[in-house]
Amino acid sequence: MSMNFSEFKKLLAADPWNRDSETLRARNSAPEFEQAAEEAEAFEHKLQTALQVSPPVDLLADIKAISQHPVQRRNWMPLALAASLLIAVGAVGMVWKQSQQWDSVEAYLAEHYAHDGDTLLGRAAGSVSEADISRIMASLNASAGQQLKGQIKFIKFCPTPEGRGAHMVVSTEQGPMTIVFMPATQVTDGEMVEFNQMHAYLVNLEHGSAAIIGRRSQPVENLEALVRNSLRTGMVGA
């Protein structure tokens, strides 16, 4: 059975880079399918570009030079640790992007949400299948409980400070809210951060963390129990 256009759009929203045989057949079946795929890829590329920071060319040399000069004790250890780490792994660009791309989780959330947060809220008028939710979460070595699955109206992969994560829109009595799952990022549990007209409640999980984002009039902290009890990490399963 061929994939209809609505199903194809939902698949693109969750994973615009999908290249399995069924997706490729659907993409080649009609011009509107190809156009939709190109638009989804362009949007995702724009997101990745907006969130990407290139490392300074002389970063390693600068760190090594600075670490050779006397400095106050409170500053020496971070510089020495950064220099030794960069030399050991031999991947200045990768380490810079992952640990220095944003000064804080708050900065990451503000930039990420400003880029597509409101847009994705608008795309979440329908529903997403439990199979799609399970597939995305399993690829992140995590799973969503049944209650959380029932409230997810949109889900897609997204960049996080420490690699790939998931961007979810969930329905609540106070309107749709956003949950950003960060599988390898630790946060200050229970901290509330604010940016623009939004605020986010941070939840540290056994592995990784999540940010519950909503407008300042929305009680985002009310979803803490749902996230903590339903978002299971470090395991694969429904």
Give pLDDT, residue 101. Answer: 66
DSSP 235: S
Q: What is the mean pLDDT of residues 131-152?
A: 93
Mean per-residue pLDDT, 179-206: 95
Domain identity same for 140 and 216: yes
Return the pLDDT at 58. 53
**What's the one-letter identity of residue 120?**
L
| Residue in 61, 66, 56, 6 with CA at minimum distance from that of residue 36 | 6
Q: Judge if 183 and 227 occupy the same domain.
A: yes
Q: Is residue 238 part of a domain?
A: no
pLDDT digits (tens, 9 = 90+) for 62-80: 545 544 555 444 444 454 4
Q: What percent of the chain has pLDDT over 70?
A: 69
For residues 122 and 202, give the distance between their C-alpha atoms in angstroms, rounded to a whole number: 23
| Domain endpoint, select from 67, 82, 100 | 100
Residue 80 shares a structural domain with residue 127: no
pLDDT of 111 > 70? The answer is yes
Together in a domain, 124 and 32: no
Number of domains in the chain: 3
DSSP string for residues in 91-115: -HHHHHHHHHSSSSHHHHHHHHHHH
Same domain, 86 and 164: no
Mean pLDDT of 15-34: 76
pLDDT higher than 70, residue 235: no
User: Does residue 73 share a domain with residue 17?
Assistant: no
Same domain as 110, residue 94: no
Q: Say what percent of the chain tops pLDDT 90.
A: 41
Do 124 and 19 lie in a common domain?
no
**Is residue 222 located within the same domain as residue 152?**
yes
**Structure-model confidence comparison of residues 163 and 201, the more confident one:** 201
Whether 178 is in a domain gets the answer yes
Amino acid at 158: C
Residue 128 contacts residue 14 (beta carbons within 8 Å): yes
118 and 227 co-located in one domain: yes
Domain hosting 43: range is 5-50
Residue 81 shares a structural domain with residue 188: no
Give the count of alpha carbons within 13 A of 14, CB side only.
Answer: 24
H or E element in which residue 204 lies: strand 198-204
How confident is the model at residue 62, as a pLDDT? 52
Residues 6+ apart with CB under 8 A from 201: 190, 191, 192, 211, 212, 220, 221, 223, 224
More reliable by pLDDT, 206 or 45: 206
User: Radius of gyration (Cα) for the chain, nearest Å?
Assistant: 20
- Residues 69 and 152 grouped into a single domain: no
Q: Does pLDDT of 2 surpass 60? A: yes
Report whether pLDDT(150) > 90.
yes
| Of 27 and 44, the one with more pLDDT | 27
Does the pTM of the predicted model rise above 0.85? no
